[in-house]
């Protein structure tokens, strides 16, 4: 294993600040999938996520000197950049809901079970896509990306209390929307998106 691969994120960012392409490549390899996964779920568009992930990593290269080790982890800094880019993009245009599951079907699974799982995933995607963007982002950061409430607050630019509130409201709204999609209850009232 090459010494660039073994370096920690802060050391690699210092090298990126000096325009070390190997260090940049190592950071891209480490963090691209996480950033892309978050952007795909946030924007509900794999194509938009591709573009925004590339822009996020380009900004990491261009603005490496603005990264401050010790004040925030690199993953938090990158997700903040990605989040801001996605919010800007979502403001510019409205995206279509995600139509396909990103979970590959098990080739050996029972076809009926696979269909049920695909339908459940589709309903989950539809319910997530219907959430206000800030609730969706808070849920994705804390439950899917597994950031702490503190890191999610940094990424979203809000307080920890606000993140916890967004997650709680998002979970309630998500649960109600899933029940509505499954035909169990009427359309839920629109919650306050903040």
CATH code of the domain covering residue 158 = 1.10.10.10
pLDDT at 181: 79
Residue 84: the pLDDT is 93
Same domain, 64 and 117: no
- CB 107 within 8 Å of CB 5: no
pLDDT the model gives residue 129? 81
Q: Is 154 within 8 Å of 76 (Cβ atoms)?
A: yes
pLDDT for 126 equals 80
**Distance (Å, whole) CA 82 – CA 49:** 9
Which of 92, 125, 160 is the last residue in one of the domains?
Answer: 92
* 101 belongs to a structural domain: no
Residue 93 has a pLDDT of: 63
Same domain, 77 and 17: yes
Range of the domain at 115: 111-181
Q: Pick the last residue of a domain from 42, 62, 92.
A: 92
Same domain, 76 and 145: no
pTM beyond 0.75 = no
Structure confidence at residue 7 (pLDDT) = 67
Same domain, 87 and 143: no
Is residue 145, in this structure, part of any structural domain at all? Answer: yes
**Shared domain check, 123 and 87:** no
Domain of residue 31, CATH code: 1.10.1740.10
Total domains, the chain: 2
List per-block mean pLDDT (blocks of 10 residues) for the chain, which spans 194 residues: 62 95 96 95 88 96 93 94 90 52 50 71 79 90 91 94 95 89 60 53
H helices present in the chain, as ranges: 3-6, 9-17, 21-43, 46-62, 74-92, 111-130, 133-139, 149-156, 160-181
7 with 86, same domain: the answer is yes
Integer Cα distance of 128 and 139 in angstroms? 9
- Same domain, yes or no: 59 and 126: no
- Both 12 and 72 in one domain: the answer is yes
């Amino acid at each position: 294993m090459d010494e660039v691969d073994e370096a920690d994120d802060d050391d690699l960012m210092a090298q990126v600040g000096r325009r070390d392409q190997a260090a940049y490549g190592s950071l891209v390899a480490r963090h691209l999938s996480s950033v892309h996964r978050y952007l795909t779920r946030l924007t509900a568009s794999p194509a938009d996520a591709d573009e925004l992930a590339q822009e996020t990593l380009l900004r990491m290269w261009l603005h490496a000197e603005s990264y401050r080790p010790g004040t925030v982890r690199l993953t938090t800094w990158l997700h903040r950049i990605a989040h801001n880019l996605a919010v800007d993009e979502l403001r510019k245009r409205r995206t279509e809901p995600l139509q396909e599951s990103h979970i590959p079907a098990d080739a050996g699974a029972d076809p009926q079970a696979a269909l049920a799982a695909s339908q459940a995933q589709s309903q989950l995607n539809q319910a997530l896509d219907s959430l206000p963007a800030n609730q969706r982002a808070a849920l994705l950061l804390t439950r899917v990306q597994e950031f702490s409430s503190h890191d999610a607050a940094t990424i979203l630019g809000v307080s920890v209390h606000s993140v916890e509130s967004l997650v709680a409201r998002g979970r309630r709204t998500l649960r109600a929307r899933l029940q509505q999609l499954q035909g169990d209850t009427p359309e839920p009232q629109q919650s306050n998106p903040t």
